[in-house]
């Protein structure tokens, strides 16, 4: 994982933009463990954009553990995307 928050955030967005389904596990890891709120928001958006049951499951799991209201909002939007 890159130590630069901006690179991790942009990477998540690109994976979502191109709907890279193989990236769901990595995005789930970012959403669950990254210390940067913006990175977690980007990971949530990417999972919502990719869609599918595994991405939705990752979003639902993260929703129960997430403490940031900003990321919670991103998860809600992501779940409504597809």
Q: Which two tokens stand for residue 71?
A: 């990321």
Q: Which two tokens stand for residue 66?
A: 């997430």
- What is the model's pLDDT at position 4? 95
23-52 pLDDT, tens digit each: 999 999 999 999 999 999 999 999 999 999
Q: Which fold has domain 5-81?
A: 1.25.10
Q: Where are the domains of the chain?
A: 5-81
- What is the model's pLDDT at position 1? 60
How many other C-beta atoms lie within 10 A of the C-beta of residue 69? 9
Residue 68 region, left (φ>0) first, then alpha (ψ -120 to 50), else beta? beta
């Amino acid at each position: 994982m890159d130590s630069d928050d901006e690179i991790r955030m942009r990477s998540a967005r690109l994976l979502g933009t191109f709907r890279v389904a193989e990236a769901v596990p990595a995005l789930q890891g970012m959403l669950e463990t990254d210390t940067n709120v913006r990175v977690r928001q980007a990971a949530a958006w990417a999972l919502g954009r990719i869609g599918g049951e595994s991405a939705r499951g990752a979003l639902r799991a993260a929703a129960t553990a997430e403490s940031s209201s900003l990321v919670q909002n991103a998860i809600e939007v992501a779940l409504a995307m597809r």
